[in-house]
Amino acid sequence: MLFITVIINYMDRSNISIAAPFITDDLNLDPVKMGLIFSAFGWTYCALQIPGGWLLDKLGNRKTHAYGIAGFSLATLLQGFVSGFSGFMFLRIGLGAFEAPAFPTNSKVAASWFPENERARAVSIYTSGQFVGLAFLTPTLVLLQQSVGWRGLFIITGIIGLAWSLLWYLFYRDPQESKRVNKEELKYMKEGGAIFEEVAASKVAPAPRKIGKKDFAVILSSRKLWGIYIGQFAVSSTLWFFLTWFPTYLVEYRGLAFIKSGFLASLPFLAAFVGVLSSGFLSDFLVKRGISADVSRKVPIITGLLLSTSIIGANFVESTNLVVLFMCIAFFGNGFASITWVFVSLLAPKRLIGIAGGMFNFIGGTASIIIPIVIGFLAQGGSFAPALTFIACIALIGALSYIFLVGKIQRVPDIIKSEFPENQQISK
């Protein structure tokens, strides 16, 4: 269910990249204005990450996802009716607002349902939805747009999301509330590090969790957490290039026909899909073989970020096949590095996983604001080479952050828990 949710999530984020060349012509928008439209999603997506984490802790996994999916799907549908720049800006801002709790919820669901030695595979499988969905959907969306126009594209993808929000609400339950999970399974999950409140057994609601200044001090003062925050920004930067400017790059800067670009644009997403699954399964395999978390969890991410720097190679070739090859290598690396969400549950204090996940996704999400705008300005001169160089440099910085800032994988101490022993049970 998370896999399908992520597919729909990214379909609604990225369908504008498919429609962009036509929107540009129909609404007479220049690259700078398109960059602002691309980035508008990120304004509220980032700003509401921490409120989204609070909402997640308040409403729970089931309601947060159901309401969020319905909201961003409606915003997607309404984009099919806009008539100008301001309408697109408003609805893309709304899209970001409703998508804000999505990945913190995904992470919390995975932390609830999977023990630690299975979690990288779980994260890689649902994360792969963003790549495999776009890989197979990109040609489909291109053909759909050819049939119903860019307005019809937004309307149809919005309807799909609205239907899925209803299905999620009807069928999803947390482990302790699911009738399909027995006591032995709950015990196995709990002993393996799965994190959930056993309210079903006690019939007593857990004590309310209050977030204070000292909690923010924990998640903002830790060098380890800043290492994964910067790394997430780097991973997101490459991703947002592909989600926004990549089809335009192929059509307007490499001179490909629109239909051909749709099929070629799907190849890097397939490479990223292979990368993220390979990373998740390799990481869990190494854990089960007794390899330390410092190697089994960090090495795939560092390797993937270093591979992402190969995107700069497209600046030095003329052949379309070689351009796409470099893009595939770079996006394979991006996929290989995309198990970063594992580190939120490994490093953050258990009591603060929701809020730490919000901060992690907030900083990573700023890429959705910065990258499209910067690329729009860098590409104004008619050359895309500075933009690709910029993306490669960000990927290198991400690799260095995991090497030098994250250090040994240990859970960050919980200040509140250590200062107030009577709160230890709540913290657990």
**For the chain, what are the domain ranges?**
2-194+213-427
The predicted pLDDT at position 210 comes to: 60
- R_g (Cα) of the chain, nearest Å: 21
* Beta carbons of 109 and 61 less than 8 angstroms apart: yes
* Beta carbons of 259 and 284 less than 8 angstroms apart: no
Distance between CA atoms of 372 and 365, rounded to whole angstroms?
12
* Beta carbons of 313 and 391 less than 8 angstroms apart: no
The predicted pLDDT at position 171 comes to: 93
CATH classification for the domain delimited by 2-194+213-427, as one of 1.20.140.10, 3.40.30.10, 1.20.1250.20, 3.40.50.1100:
1.20.1250.20
Single-letter code of the amino acid located at 238: T
- The pTM assigned to this predicted structure is 0.71
The predicted pLDDT at position 415 comes to: 66
Distance between CA atoms of 178 and 199, rounded to whole angstroms?
12
pLDDT of the chain, 428 residues: tens digit per residue: 999 999 998 888 878 888 887 888 888 887 788 888 888 888 888 888 778 877 887 888 899 999 999 999 999 999 989 888 888 899 999 999 999 888 889 988 988 898 888 887 888 888 888 777 777 777 778 788 888 888 999 999 999 999 999 999 999 998 888 888 888 888 888 888 787 765 544 444 445 456 667 777 778 888 899 999 999 999 999 988 987 888 788 877 887 765 555 677 778 888 988 888 888 888 888 888 888 777 888 888 999 999 999 999 999 998 888 988 999 999 999 989 988 877 887 887 877 777 787 788 889 888 988 898 899 889 887 789 999 999 999 999 999 999 998 878 788 777 655 444 444 443 43
Token pair for 425: 């049970």
Kindly tell me the sign of the dihedral angle through the C-alpha atoms of 247, 251, 254, 257. positive
* Beta carbons of 157 and 12 less than 8 angstroms apart: yes
Residue 210 CA from chain centroid, whole number: 27
The predicted pLDDT at position 417 comes to: 54
User: What is the number of alpha carbons within 13 Å of residue 215 lying toward its C-beta?
Assistant: 18
Inter-CA distances, 410 with 96, 219, 302, 413, Å: 32, 14, 18, 9
The predicted pLDDT at position 416 comes to: 55
Number of separate helices (H) and strands (E) present in the chain: 22, 0
* Beta carbons of 409 and 293 less than 8 angstroms apart: yes
Distance between CA atoms of 293 and 274, rounded to whole angstroms?
22
The count of other CB atoms within 10 Å of the CB of residue 84 is: 10
Contacts of residue 420, defined as CB under 8 A and 6 or more positions apart, other chains included, come to none
Residue 331 CA from chain centroid, whole number: 14
Query: DSSP labels for 363-425?
Result: HHHTHHHHHHHHHHHHTTTS--HHHHHHHHHHHHHHHHHIIIII-S--PPP-HHHHH-GGGHH
